[in-house]
Amino acid sequence: MKAIVQDRYGSPDVLELREVDKPVAAGHEVLVRVHAAAVNARDWHLMRGDPYLARLVLGLRAPKERIRGSDFAGRVEAVGKDVTRLRPGDEVFGEADGAFAEYVCASQDVVEPKPANLTFEQAAAVPLAGNTALMGLRDLARVRPGHKVLVNGASGGVGTFAVQIAKAFGAEVTGVCSTKNVDLVRSLGADHVVDYTHEDFTRNGSRYDVVFDLVGNRSLAECRRALTPSGTLVLSGGGVSEGGSLVGPMGLIIKGQALSRFVGQRLLVLTATQSSRNLAALRELVERGDLAPVVDRTYPLREAAEAIRYLEVEHARAKVVVTV
């Protein structure tokens, strides 16, 4: 099968389209014929081996997982002997290493039936970004009706989902983005939009029950200034930051964990985990019309390196998808 492979860390130039062995589903796994796979900041960081500290886990000189990509949508080709929920021919979406390929193997625990009202390209955009937004708002921030929620990075991959999910939970939502993305964020249902090129959300006097920071470009003191005295700050390191750093966004996250012990506000660090239950919750939001993935651009598999380059250099809005 064809797949996007890397043998060393570096720029998108290290990614190559190659013929590799087709994977075989183990007992609890499904083999999926990939129709589309989404690009995430995670792919960029894995490609670069950034932050450097992460290489202790990812691989010191080269990534242990050589095929990039994680979000996918496609059809089940085969199932392992222990799989009970899915069968060949099912249209599914999910998250597993090696999605920039014609086939991917994934545990049945991280795969769900595809939302009926989405294309494969749209469905592929959902898993990682949608799950991150869902866990940050539902599980950590515990957003409920009447909460005032600010999403910093509202036009990004996670941010576009976060705005819609917060609205579905009954919150009054403010999105922070650049001038070119104001209309997009409004179209997602944001009640208020802050154009950061003209206004500083940490200094305009507004206070929020929840600040969901997906960018990591503001200090903890600045973010806390935008919170109510008992508000919640959720920190996520999912944004694309400039490479070559030792700890990357983890520096801000570590500071948040340390400070949270001494202040009345809740400063929480988001570590998203894969879950078919969360995928099912996202599918329900999609199928009832509360959530719609936004796809900025699509690229064919052979141009996956350019898709990642676009995400890295152009700071793409919403999601970028690779079609297989």
CA dist., res. 234 & res. 253, Å (int): 9
Number of domains in the chain: 2
Is the domain of 118 the same as that of 135? no
Separation CA 17–CA 321 (nearest Å): 16
Does 278 map to a domain? no
- Comparing C-alpha atoms, which of 155, 137, 160 is closest to residue 147? 137
Question: Do 249 and 180 have their domain in common?
Answer: yes
Residue from 269, 225, 226, 224 nearest 249 by CA: 269
280 falls within a domain: no
Say which residues have a Cβ less than 8 Å from residue 183's Cβ, sequence separation at least 6: none
58 lies in the same domain as 141: no
Q: Which of 23, 6, 12 is nearest to 59 (CA)?
A: 6
Residues 52 and 161 in one domain: no
User: If you count them, how many residues does the chain have?
Assistant: 324
Domain at 97, CATH number:
3.90.180.10
Residues 208 and 175 in one domain: yes
In Å, what is the CA distance from 82 to each residue of 77, 169, 278? 15, 36, 22
Please tell me the distance from the alpha carbon of residue 308 to that of residue 324, in angstroms, as a whole number: 15
- What is the rounded distance in angstroms from the CA atom of residue 114 to the CA atom of residue 61? 37
**CB of 50 within 8 A of CB of 41?**
no
Same domain, 117 and 137: no
In a shared domain, residues 37 and 150: no
- The rounded average pLDDT for each run of 10 residues, N- to C-terminus, in the chain (324 residues) is 94 95 96 97 84 74 88 98 96 97 97 98 98 97 98 96 98 97 98 97 96 90 94 76 48 61 78 92 98 97 95 82 97
Quick one: pLDDT at residue 84? 92
Does 71 fall in a domain? Answer: yes
Which range marks the domain in which residue 87 is found?
2-126+293-323
Q: Is residue 274 part of a domain?
A: no
* pTM of the complete model: 0.91
pLDDT digits 0-9 by tens, 101-144? 999 999 999 999 999 999 999 999 999 999 999 999 999 999 99
196: closest CA among 214, 173, 180, 219? 180
State the DSSP code for 181.
G
